[in-house]
Structure 1
Amino acid sequence: MRVTRSAAVGVGFYGNRETNDGVHQLIYSLDNANHTFSGIDELVSGNTQKMKVDLEQHLARLSEIFATRGEYTQTLKLMQQMSGNIIVQLSGLPVWREVTMQLTELSEQTGYVEHYRWLSYLLLFVLDLVICLVTCLALAKRSKCLLALMLCCGMVTLLLSWASLAADTAAAVGTSDFCMAPDTFILNTTQGQISTEVIRYYLHCSQSTSSPFQQALTTFQRSLTTMQIQVMGLLQFSVPLFPTAEKDLLGIQLLLNASETSLHQLMAMLDCRGLHKDYLDAVTGICFDGIEGLLFLGLFSLLAALAFSTLICAGPQAWKHFVTRDRDYDDIDDNDPFNPQARRIAAHNPSQGQLHSFCSYSSGLGSQSSLQPHSQTISNAPVSEYMNQAMLFGGNPRYENVPLIGRGSPPPTYSPSMRATYMSVTDEHQMHYEFPS
């Protein structure tokens, strides 16, 4: 059972590590995708704000300055038209705000569930080890109360193991269904929020697949290039005639340069390679490390359930063995110095443990009050007389603590040192328990 428990704990820790790695990889991929989508929305909203507000303010002031020059006014109208084109192209890009909120919520829920799942399995591992060690201690100490307590704890842990096995199996089955067709699941989930063409572009990301943002980004870049050329022409020809227009023209030039930088960042973020890599990492974390960890956790739960079932079945047998061993000492005299229970009692009661006689006081007192031993020290009576006396008082020759009738010496089977001890104890009893006639 200890081998099974150790194997179960090892499998459980390995599965827990695999599940943690898969979930952490999923959370990392979700955070990266969330950061990318948030960056796209910020760039789109920032460029739209620049074109609608900042550029319009500069163009309005320049229109007042160039009111007397029709060719400059036509240039400003062309720039206003280009900024309108940029706004239209930016508004055609998908808005990832709802997707970002869903990814943020999914990442937080996944981290929350994973934290408590890891903590619960860790506590279950510790509980299994504690019950195993305390059960071994109860068997070594032959403690019935401790064994009964561990049997109750084992029953509770058995139920927890079966519940864990059911949860792991359900999670593994659900995850396997997702891993059979993850693209279809994501398409169905994002339906109505993002166009199918955009989702397929990120899911497959092949060289043959054209980017759905290519036209919008190309128009954005051409419009910026046209506006920059017009601003450079105005700076070259209109500033000598209208010096007050230089400040606004330089402001427009800085704005267009910042928009061009944002355009390059937007093109990099909208490229499918980064998001597709995050998607593959998330699917790998779920469908490989995640499912493998769930299977190992299920195996751990199964082994733990079998181990605790064995413990609960073997507990009553150990209990019966305790009772049988206790009954083996019921027919032995408590004052017998060779009785293990008497040794344990003597260890707790030193006053009684220091008696070193080979016969009990009760039997000695009763025999000496009625029968006085002879004065001879050593008797050479045949062995048959000793056996007859032993059979008379106990029916079993091993009751050697029964006093011998008509004899003052120990049986001939004792050694000389034991005879001397027996005679000294007999004399001491006669001195203390002598009654007047």
Structure 2
Amino acid sequence: MGVGDYEAPFVARLLHNLPHLNIRLQFINSTFAPENELYLESLGILAFIPAACLILTLLILLMYFLTRCCDRKPRRKRTITACKWVSIVFIVLLTWAAIAASLYGNHDIHEKMVQVLDGLKGMDSTVRDLQIKTERLKEIRTEARQLLDPLQTKFRTPPSQMTDTRQVELGKEMDTLANFVDSDEIYKRFTSINKSMHNIFKFRWLNTLSRAELIRWIGTMGMWGLLVLFCLILLIGMCRYSRCTLITFSVCGLLAVIVCWLQASIYLIGAVAIGDYCMQPDLYLESLVHVPEDARVLEYYMRCPRASNPWGQVLNQTRDGVNTAFKSYKRATQISDQLYPDAKDKMNQLGDQMNKLTLMVPELHRQLDCNVIYPHYLASSRICHKGLYGLCLMLLASALCGVCFTILFWVDSHTWIYLGNRKNYQQVDGQDPYLPPTAASQAIAARTLRSQGSYGSSGLFRHKMLHDGALHAASQQLLDGRGFRDEKSQHGGIHPGGSDTLPGPNHGQYATLSKQCKTLESSDFY
């Protein structure tokens, strides 16, 4: 990429200007250097910012729950107010908007990563094709040598009609052709070129990176979809006034808070690292090359078409050598067709190999031109533009979702703690003979009974109750069968009223009004 053709995007400059500090809080060089431990340490310090927000959030929520656990003051059960409804719906919509923005950014990153991988695969494919053609060049040389040996032996035997001049000329042309084929100069040149290209543009980890990017893309979408489901759980719990559903969201919401802030840490590391790389991508790539010859090759492909071809002279010499050898073959063919007609088939086979060689050298020349690899190199740098913006969008969306889920978690917890249970009472028929219309209020009044005496010499209980005819009739039919000891059993006499039962509306016995009313216990009297 030419120096004048590239300009770092605004987001890259902004991220690059963030302070890069080591563990001692000292400023370090912000140049992209992933092999440098201090640089990696500075990225870890930056990633601690979202992690610190997560720790602070968890501490605040812990303190809130501790205050609720220590709060022993009785409080009136509440319902979900309109203010809470509006607040929760607004925060949920804001959360969904952040999730939508994050999904958009995730799509941008995936799209640009696919382009980057395609560019890298294009460079890798070029290098692989160059290696294949170099090996094919060696095979052509071997096959041509196998054809030349019997031809040279045959041409050393002069035919009867051959003159000495033409025999000498044919021998010279065949020697020139043999010297060219025997020489491994061409093969060595292209082997050296192939080695340099392999050192620079051969990527063994492309398939692994492609699979990792696919898993990241799908996993990110699935994770954000799960957060949308968490918000739906909260809304369902609010609509149904269900404490169980709201408590479920408390667990899911806390998990969402942790996931969002951890994602923000990862995205911050990635955004800062890519921003540093995008400031001077050429400089980092040049730092990876330590051989001067390879450095010239890399410069040629990054600054195309301004830089000069480092193999221009070698390729020109190879092309001239092939052309000279092919001309020698042509002249040798013309002479051999006249003097050795029976060698025509062998000469044609040799001609096929020479034609392949003649076509392959210019093809290799075109393939090594910078215009072939330069577009792939440009594609590999597209992560610095729209891809970086998408990553920053995901970073902001993750932080916003972390804040929103914190608020939703707090409001949800505050709601289900004080939310009254919905009581599903059984409906009682108003004509029930065991529960007259006034019986409900009288049953409540019965719980206010207090003991007016003790099991003393009289053994009597005085009850302060409402004496209603209907209550007395209902009570007589629902006696639990347990009688109290009367005065006669304790004193051997009879109550002054002449009755053998205790005074009161129930004759000294507890009454059960209905299955819907509580049976009075003895503790209610003492």
Q: TM-score of the superposition, structure 1-length normalised? A: 0.73
Q: How many residues align?
A: 348
State the shift of 1:362 in Å: 7.2
Does structure 2 retain, via aligned residues, the 8 Å contact 1:165–1:302?
Answer: yes
5+ residue gaps in structure 2? 1-90, 158-166, 444-465, 474-526
1:88-127 correspondence runs (5 A): 88-95=188-195, 98-99=198-199, 102-105=202-205, 107-127=206-226
Query: What is the match of residue 413 of structure 1?
Result: none
State the shift of 1:243 in Å: 2.1
1:314 paired to 2:447:
no
1:45 paired to 2:141:
no
Alpha-carbon deviations, 1:357-381, whole Å to 9, x = none?
7533674995116999xxxxxxxxx
Which of these residues, 13, 30, 33, is aligned with residue 123 of structure 2?
33
Counterpart-to-counterpart distance in 2, 1:288 and 1:185: 17
Letter in 2 for 1:54: E
Query: What is the match of residue 131 of structure 1?
Result: 230
Alpha-carbon deviations, 1:6-25, whole Å to 9, x = none?
11111111111011011101
1:198-347 correspondence runs (5 A): 198-206=297-305, 208-284=306-382, 286-323=383-420, 344-345=424-425
1:169-188 correspondence runs (5 A): 169-188=268-287
Q: 1:370 to 1:203 in 2, by over 3 A?
A: closer
Does structure 2 retain, via aligned residues, the 8 Å contact 1:21–1:289?
Answer: no
1:163 paired to 2:262:
yes
Moved segments of 4+, more than 4 Å = 96-102, 350-358, 369-372
Does structure 2 retain, via aligned residues, the 8 Å contact 1:86–1:219?
Answer: no
Query: What is the match of residue 66 of structure 1?
Result: 155
SS at match of 2:246: helix
Q: 1:135 to 1:370 in 2, by over 3 A?
A: closer
Letter in 1 for 2:156: A
State the shift of 1:159 in Å: 0.6
Q: 1:363 to 1:87 in 2, by over 3 A?
A: closer
Alpha-carbon deviations, 1:54-110, whole Å to 9, x = none?
1111221121011143332221221123332433433442326744894131x2232
More helix by share: 1
Does structure 1 retain, via aligned residues, the 8 Å contact 2:105–2:393?
Answer: yes
Letter in 2 for 1:49: E
Counterpart-to-counterpart distance in 2, 1:274 and 1:86: 22
Counterpart-to-counterpart distance in 1, 2:213 and 2:276: 20
1:22 paired to 2:112:
yes
Counterpart-to-counterpart distance in 2, 1:352 and 1:93: 99
State the shift of 1:238 in Å: 2.2
Letter in 2 for 1:64: T
Does structure 2 retain, via aligned residues, the 8 Å contact 1:235–1:249?
Answer: yes
Does structure 2 retain, via aligned residues, the 8 Å contact 1:8–1:300?
Answer: yes
Counterpart-to-counterpart distance in 2, 1:370 and 1:87: 117
Counterpart-to-counterpart distance in 2, 1:22 and 1:265: 31
State the shift of 1:199 in Å: 0.8
Alpha-carbon deviations, 1:243-293, whole Å to 9, x = none?
232222211211111112212321221110121111011101x21132112
Query: What is the match of residue 439 of structure 2?
Result: 360
Q: 1:258 to 1:37 in 2, by over 3 A?
A: same
Alpha-carbon deviations, 1:377-415, whole Å to 9, x = none?
xxxxxxxxxxxxxxxxxxxxxxxxxxxxxxxxxxxxxxx
Does structure 1 retain, via aligned residues, the 8 Å contact 2:237–2:243?
Answer: yes
State the shift of 1:28 in Å: 0.8
RMSD: 2.7
Q: 1:291 to 1:254 in 2, by over 3 A?
A: same
Does structure 1 retain, via aligned residues, the 8 Å contact 2:151–2:343?
Answer: yes
State the shift of 1:300 in Å: 1.5
Counterpart-to-counterpart distance in 1, 2:202 and 2:191: 22
Counterpart-to-counterpart distance in 2, 1:371 and 1:350: 23
Q: 1:122 to 1:370 in 2, by over 3 A?
A: closer
Counterpart-to-counterpart distance in 2, 1:227 and 1:307: 77
Q: 1:363 to 1:91 in 2, by over 3 A?
A: closer
Alpha-carbon deviations, 1:281-331, whole Å to 9, x = none?
1101x21132112111111211110111101221232135414xx6xxxxx
Does structure 2 retain, via aligned residues, the 8 Å contact 1:15–1:296?
Answer: yes
Counterpart-to-counterpart distance in 2, 1:39 and 1:151: 58
Does structure 2 retain, via aligned residues, the 8 Å contact 1:48–1:87?
Answer: yes
SS at match of 2:411: helix
Query: What is the match of residue 479 of structure 2?
Result: none
Letter in 1 for 2:113: V
Query: What is the match of residue 87 of structure 1?
Result: 187
Deviates more, 1:225-234 or 1:23-32: 225-234
Alpha-carbon deviations, 1:169-205, whole Å to 9, x = none?
0011111121122112222224349611111100111
State the shift of 1:34 in Å: 1.1
Query: What is the match of residue 337 of structure 1?
Result: none
Deviates more, 1:190-199 or 1:58-67: 190-199
Q: 1:301 to 1:361 in 2, by over 3 A?
A: closer
Letter in 2 for 1:22: K
Identity of matched residues, % = 20
Counterpart-to-counterpart distance in 1, 2:318 and 2:431: 107
Does structure 2 retain, via aligned residues, the 8 Å contact 1:47–1:259?
Answer: yes
Does structure 1 retain, via aligned residues, the 8 Å contact 2:247–2:413?
Answer: no
Q: 1:354 to 1:263 in 2, by over 3 A?
A: farther
